[in-house]
Amino acid sequence: MAVVATYLAFLRAINLGPTRKFPKDDLRGAIEAAGFEGVETHTASGNVRFDTRMRSRARIEEALERQFRADRGFDVPTVAFSAAEFADLADRAQQIHEAHPGVARHYVYLLKDELGASAKNAVEATSTDEGRMLVAGRAAHALLAPGYQAGKVDPLGAANLLGVATSRNVDVVTTLARKWC
């Protein structure tokens, strides 16, 4: 009998506008219909925790994305981490945050796939006086200086270099790690 493991998944671009609605109860139901157990959500922005006997992150993401498409009728890119992976990512995010005092905002882009060296260099090269991009494993950190253009979705122009990714602020990342890992 396979051991149950806890995973966290982060959904991209749901509940943004009138056509991409995915209420928390519907989201939980879809994840359970895909065969996952112990499903919990955090806010309505696509943060979920579940248990599974599956071990392949790619297979987990594929099963969720297939179920979401069937349930909603639109694609929902999904980035998954084991609880241990996410705890490490959150610890690293906190270390990066503490190493950069004076940052006005710190967003963590959660990456489906780790970037290769040239992509990592390209992302980090988007750094400007408005902020700095740092890549660490399957996370890219936007460290925005005071005075960055508030409200701009991608102030450093790095998002299109990341592949499939979704962002959360560092406080959400550390809160979820404390809550679920």
Instruction: At 114, give phi and psi (nearest 5°).
Output: -65, 140
**Which class does domain 5-82 fall in?**
alpha beta
Tokens of 146: 């005071």
Tokens of 35: 């065969």
- pLDDT band (50, 70, 90) for residue 168: very high
User: According to the model, what pLDDT value does residue 115 have?
Assistant: 98
Instruction: Tell me the C-alpha to C-alpha distance, in Å, between residue 110 and each of 4, 21, 37.
Output: 24, 21, 23
Average pLDDT of the residues of the chain: 92
Q: What's the Rg (C-alpha) of the chain?
A: 16
In the chain, list all ranges with CATH 3.30.70.1280: 5-82
DSSP designation for 139: E
Indicate if the pLDDT at residue 23 is higher than 90. no
Q: What is the pTM of this model?
A: 0.93
Q: What is the pLDDT of residues 111-121, one digit of tens each?
A: 999 999 999 99
Indicate if the pLDDT at residue 17 is higher than 70. no
Count of C-beta atoms within a 10 Å radius of residue 1? 4
Higher pLDDT, 44 or 135: 135
Q: What is the pLDDT of residues 75-97, one digit of tens each?
A: 889 999 999 999 999 999 999 99
Q: Which residue bears the tokens 């297939």?
A: 66
User: According to the model, what pLDDT value does residue 148 have?
Assistant: 72
